[in-house]
Amino acid sequence: MSSPVPDTIRPIRFDDGRLHLLDQRLLPSESRENGYEDPASVADAIRDMVVRGAPAIGITAAFGVVLACDRARDRNTAPWRPSVEAAIDRLAASRPTAVNLFWALDRMRAVLAGCGSVAEACAATLAEAQAMLQADIAANRRMGAIGAALIDPGRAVLTHCNTGSLATGGFGTALGVIRASWAEDRITEVFADETRPWLQGSRLTAWELLRDGIPVQLLCEGAAASLLRSGRVGWVVVGADRIAANGDTANKIGTYGLALLARAHGAGLMVVAPLSTIDFEIADGSAIPIEMRAEAEVLGLGGQRVAAPGARAWNPAFDVTPADLIDVIVTEQGAVHRPDREGLAALRGLVDR
């Protein structure tokens, strides 16, 4: 018998002209919201990982445009459009890989194009950003149901990074599938990689699941091979930051290795992402820009250096999994099995760009 699907976390809200973000750098030891009133600080919050996860980044950037319009109105900036465009450019530069960021900003530009005054822009962009937030939550719930239906009962799932409410407007993508599957008694247990170097699995995914009453076991990435070899895991369920037109998928570094391990050990690989994550302008994964982050993230932990003096670090934030290693891509409009260019092309007309 199915149970109510647990869903209690909302990391993004906008009240009284102020954007509030749950600071994910502090979890799980501290749950604190930061308030933002100008677009530059929102761009910094995205870059500095206060908010992360492709859908959440896009929604946050949309509210950053709202703040840019509010700022131009309050300062009586004339003309107002150049200051808003400058804010959009700064938001676009905050992180390069997540296509949802650029998708959201393009939507906001389209809204602004139809506005004749800054007052109209303030109202129109706020309505659009709020609509994007609510649409994301609804889409995640649809993906959760679609993905759960593909999971045969009786085995565990393994996930990587954080793809839950914290990475979206709410409910989550891959973690939404896990939430729905748990409520339907389709999975026996949940495993989560620690996800180094930011430990999103350890700090964020574990926090989300436990808060919603779903038990989770953490493992170092290096333990995934042994876990998959044991046969306990039926599916590896992950999210995506950008999907190319042929199905190649950029996701948190380590996903490609999991894909190889899943294929070697007979587990399925499910990628769960909204249609806005598919970049039909990129032919394949070789064209996806991969963000390189600071060496200090690998050389230290919790602000304390742990590496030997003089050691360097290679720190890509993402890797690309070839489409032929992916068993299914789940979107809010349905699932594409054995994804390829033709399968994804059928979804193109459904993308609201």
Catalytic residues: 241
**Separation between Cα atoms, residue 98 and residue 167, nearest integer Å:** 12
**Separation between Cα atoms, residue 234 and residue 266, nearest integer Å:** 8
Q: How many residues does the chain have?
A: 353
